[in-house]
Amino acid sequence: MTEYFPGIPTIRYEGPGTRNSLAYRHYNPAEVIAGKTMEQHLRFAVCYWHTFKFAGNDPFGLPTIGRMYNSSSDPVRVAEETMTAAFEFFQKLGVKLWCFHDWDIAPEMQTLSETNAVLDRIVSLATKLQDDTGIRPLWGTANLFSNPRFMAGAATSPSPHVFAWAAAKVKKALEISLELGAEGYVFWGGREGYETLLNTDLKRETEHLARFMHMAVDYKKEIGFQGPFYIEPKPKEPTKHQYDFDASTCHAFLQKYDLLDDFRLNIEVNHATLAGHDMLHELEYAFAHDIFGSIDANRGDTLLGWDTDQFPTDLYLTTLTMYSVLRGGGFTTGGLNFDAKLRRQSIDPVDLFHAHIGSMDTFARGLRIASKLREDGVLEEILRERYAEWGSELGRRIESGAAGFADLEKHVLQTGEPECRSGRQEHIENILNDYIQ
C-alpha cells in the first residue's frame, strides 16, 4: 500500500523535555484532567479542505504546494488517493475526528447526478477507512460558495433556481454526513450576504435564508440525522457583509425565525476577530445564551485584514478558550476543528505535522492552565467580590423585580454617592500571567 507521508512515524507523547519535533510535548491523550482525559476534553478534528486540498495559492500567486496524492490527472483518482492519505494522516497524528465539505472529498462533475455518484463512491471508501480505524467526522457541510452558480449567494441568491441547487447540495451533504456518522452539520454562509445594497433586497434574502434553514431541519428529521446543526458566524469575506455576522447576529436570526431548538454556533477565532471581537467574547456570548456548539480553531494576524486561518499557537488564546469551554461545561457534540492552513512557503508534508502538533500542544497547555485556574477559583473569586453588593437588600430587590424607579430614587436621596471601586484589571492580568508559564 502506498505510504503518502513516508518517513513520518506515529506521533506520540514524549513530554516537555523531548527534542523530537515529531512528538507531543504537552498533549497526552490519556492523561486525566478535571475528571476527563485530554482527548475527551479537546476533541481535536482535522479539517479536510485546508489540510489536504490547500495548495498554497493566494490572490496574487499560483499554488506552491504539491502532494503525492494529488498528482494524477484524473480527479476521481485524486479524490480516492487523497482520502486514503487523509486517513494515514489522522492515524499518524492520533486524531479521531475530521471535518469536510462535499466539494473537498469529491470533484464536481457535469451534472448533479454524476457528482452525487462520485460522492457515493468516495463515501464508500471513507466508510471502509472509518470502519478500519474508528475515526468519524465531527461534522460535515456543503460547499455553497466555490462554484460560479453561487456567486450571488446560495439560499440568499436572487434566483430560486440557485436556491434549489443549494437545497439539492445540502440534501446530499446531510445524507452523506448521516452515512459517515458525523456528529453534527455546519452551515457557513460564505456568500450569504452582499457586495452592495444597491442591488440587494436584504429583508427578502434574510427570509429566504430562514426558509432554507427550516427546510434543512425538516429534512434532517425526515432522514433521522440526530446531531446538531451549527451556524458558523463570519462578518465578511468573501462578501462585504455576511448575514451571519457574529454570535449575537446569528442569535437574533435564530430567535426571530424560531430556529433555536435545532441550531447552535460553530465559533471560529479568525471570524471573531474580523467581526471586531475577540474569541472570548464570542464564546462567552454563546455560553451565556445556551447556543455554544463547536469551535473552528485557528488565529488571524493583526497586521493583515483578512481571514489568514493560521494554526493556533498562541497560549493566551488557547488558555482563555479552554477556560471558557470548561466553565461552560465542556464540549458535548462539538470539538476543536483546525480550520487552519499552512503558510504558503511551508511546502513539505512534514510541515502539516508540525502545524498540527504545535497547535495540539498549545491547546493541551491551555487546557492544563485553564483547569488549574478553575481549580484555584481565582477568577471566580474576583467575579464574586466584584458583584458582591448585589447580595444586599437593594441588589436583591432590583434583581427580583421588586424595586421600581421611584424606590431607587428614594434610595439615592437617602444614601447619596456610591463608593467607586477599582476594576483591578492590571492585577488580574498579572494573575493570569502567573498561571501561563
Cβ at position 219, least distance to ligand XUL in Å: 19
* CB-facing half-sphere around the CA of 112: CA atoms within 13 A: 12
- Specify whether 132 is catalytic: no
Interface with Co ion includes 246 (CB under 5 A)? no
10: which 3 cell numbers? Answer: 506515529
Beta carbon of residue 411, minimum distance to ligand XUL (angstroms, whole number)? 50
Q: Is 244 in the site for ligand XUL (CB under 6 A)?
A: no
Q: Rule CB under 6 A: is residue 268 a binding residue for ligand XUL?
A: yes
Catalytic pick among 101, 251, 277, 356 = 101
Q: Which residues from 100-139 bind ligand XUL, rule CB under 6 A? A: 101
Specify the residue, 116 or 242, whose C-beta has the smaller distance to ligand XUL: 242
Nearer to ligand XUL, 339 or 361 (CB): 339
Q: What angle do CA 79, 81, 85 make, to 5 degrees?
A: 115
- Kindly state whether residue 268 participates in binding Co ion, applying the rule CB under 5 A: yes
Least separation in angstroms between residue 273's CB and ligand XUL is: 12
Give the interface segment with Co ion, choosing from 194-202, 268-276, 403-411, 424-432 (CB under 5 A): 268-276
- Is 278 assigned a catalytic role? no
Count of residues engaged in binding ligand XUL, rule: CB under 6 A: 10
Among 93-101, 165-173, 290-298, 361-369, the segment contacting Co ion (CB under 5 A): 290-298
| Shortest Å, Cβ 267 to ligand XUL | 11
Q: Nearest to residue 295, comparing CAs of 338, 256, 258, 329?
A: 338
172-191 residues near Co ion, rule: CB under 5 A: none
CB of 54 to ligand XUL, least distance (A): 11
Give the footprint of ligand XUL on residues 155-194 (CB under 6 A): 186, 188
- Dihedral of the alpha carbons of 164, 166, 172, 174, in degrees to the nearest 10: -120
Contact call for residue 307 and Co ion (CB under 5 A): no
Q: Of 81 and 246, which has the nearer Cβ to Co ion?
A: 246
Give me the catalytic one of 102, 104, 246, 339: 104
Q: Which does 341 bind (CB under 5 to 8 A by kind): Co ion, ligand XUL, none?
A: none
User: In whole angstroms, how close is the CB of 270 to ligand XUL at the nearest point?
Assistant: 7
Q: Which stretch binds Co ion (CB under 5 A): 27-35, 248-256, 285-293, 294-302?
A: 294-302
Give the nearer residue to ligand XUL in terms of CB position, either 28 or 307.
307
Among 96, 296, 366, 370, binds ligand XUL (CB under 6 A): 296
Positions annotated as catalytic residues are: 101, 104
List of residues contacting ligand XUL (CB under 6 A): 101, 141, 186, 188, 232, 234, 268, 296, 307, 339
List of residues contacting Co ion (CB under 5 A): 268, 296, 339
